[in-house]
Structure 1
Amino acid sequence: MTETPKIALVTGAGSGIGRAVSLALHGAGWRVVLAGRRAADLEQTASLGGASSHPMLPVSTDVSRPESVEHLFGRIRGEYGRLDLLFNNAGINIPAVPLEDVTFELWNRIVGVNLTGAFLCAQHAVRLMKQQQPRGGRIINNGSISAHAPRPHSAPYTATKHAITGLTRSISLDGREYDIACGQIDIGNANTGLADQSKALVPGQEPKMDVQDVAGAVLYMAGLPLSANVQFMTVMATKMPFIGRG
């Protein structure tokens, strides 16, 4: 009997960790929906998957906008009728800015993507996972080691990542009854190319790990049966300053 393919949604899939995880899931046989703001980057991620009987589905999405997330999940319902995995990965950061210099507009932009976007996607995912048959699914939130120990001058980013931990716990609690598992992966210094663009993310020459190691960790979490869950996982470059940095 042919096994029913599983459906995954990856936000922030146009580059970095999102792209690596999307390709890893695709390689493992998942049907992958790619969400992100830049359509060309999503198309590039899809093309990297190569010729396949189950090509990835790019959907241009701004996760901070409710109507855009509504459209995204409408496409998922229309194409697949269910969702087995949400990797809530979309996020933005800025170079280090002292707290007193953070503008209201900047604060709102970071909170809108990192926190509101994760909430909106999780909300739609939970609705679908409750209704589908067989019911249930998994949500993996991309936290950060900044959810535990902040870097200097990173108040907006750090606040959102601490909030993601609360969101993870709440989804885990509320989802139990409906076979919805929720976990969080806290990532430190993955070599994505993006990290080098912001000293707020990786100052100086801190050690970095291969982004494929992150993809492998997410793939492990995603592959567990719904009877098991990785609640929190920290994956980081071994020699980066995290333990003892606070």
Structure 2
Amino acid sequence: MAEAGSRRFEGRTAIVTGAGTGVGRATALALAREGARVIVANRRADAGESAVAAIEALGGEAFYVQTDVARRESVQGLVEAALARYDRIDILINNAGVLGPMAPTADVTEEQWDEVMDINLKGAWLCMKYAIPAMVRQRRGVIINVASSANLRTYPYLSAYSASKAGMLGMTRVAAAEYAKAGILVKALCLGAVRTPMIEPGIKHAGNEALLDSMHAVGRIAEPEEVGEAIVWLCSDQASFVVGPALNMTGGTELL
């Protein structure tokens, strides 16, 4: 590829959900730089195709699959497309997610609650459900579930989001225990605030970005690219002894 990399993932196939923007896009690009063939899974076609174009501009290999992770048929189609093209799935990044309503718990509607759970928790479970059998056949695979500092500290007015990410950690623990001996490493990465479209409601709620910065011990929010590099490391052979809810990348927000 045009940009230098160690090519740690040469010949490996990675699915990244929510890969059109933010952390997902940065992760897809970072994996491609290391030689991975990337399946860009995204609900919005324009963003997904843009991510593919960016990967191809680097000399990487990628294709786009329009995916709604909350729908079983859509996730099945995603996994089938990956296997039809490459006959293997080495890496799954469960990144697709929504912040949901910022409201007191009793003011959240059932429809809002269900949407957050369907995308953040059920979506990750569906992707694991359909990708894991291929990984079991290969006797190898890595799954990264992108979780949140909401598992480490309390964020008032984010009950649905916090519950969905807590569920993700529980699911990660169980799946990690179930599949580690089969060569499949299931891990979770807990993130603080990252500069993505997803945090725009949070900035608006806080009044300004400076207040959001002050909620992190390092005095700033994260950039998508540094998160992407952390995920690349978690997927690498250098992190083969890391399993379960393993890494916090929160900027120390839980310390304050």
Which of 65, 70, 74 is the equivalent residue of 1:64? 70
Match for residue 236 of structure 1? 250
Change (3 A) 1:209 1:52: closer
Which of 12, 23, 29 is the equivalent residue of 1:17? 23
Which of 140, 145, 151 is the equivalent residue of 2:149? 145
Alignment of 1:4-83 (within 5 A): 5-51=11-57, 54-83=60-89
Distance 2:206 2:173 in 1: 27
Deviates more, 1:226-235 or 1:70-79: 226-235
Identity, % of aligned pairs? 32
Aligned to 2:32, the other structure's residue is in SS state: helix
Aligned to 1:198, the other structure's residue is in SS state: helix
Count of matched residue pairs: 238
Kindly indicate whether residue 174 of structure 2 is the aligned counterpart of residue 160 of structure 1: no
- Which stretches in structure 2 are left out of the alignment for 5+ residues? 1-8, 214-220
Deviates more, 1:18-27 or 1:94-103: 94-103
Alpha-carbon RMSD across the aligned residues, in angstroms, is 2.0
Aligned to 1:189, the other structure's residue is in SS state: coil
Match for residue 212 of structure 1? 225
- The code of the aligned residue for 1:148 comes to L
Which of 235, 239, 249 is the equivalent residue of 1:222? 235
Report if aligned partners of 1:195, 1:202 keep a CA contact under 8 Å in 2: no
Deviates more, 1:121-130 or 1:201-210: 201-210
What TM-score comes out, normalization by structure 1 length?
0.90
- The code of the aligned residue for 1:180 comes to I
Report if aligned partners of 2:101, 2:160 keep a CA contact under 8 Å in 1: no
- The code of the aligned residue for 1:236 comes to T
Question: Which one has a larger percent helix, Structure 1 or Structure 2?
Answer: 2
- Which stretches in structure 1 are left out of the alignment for 5+ residues? none
Tell me the alpha carbon deviations over residues 27-62 of structure 1, each in whole angstroms, 9 at most, x when there is no partner: 111001011111111001111123366421110000
- The code of the aligned residue for 1:171 comes to A
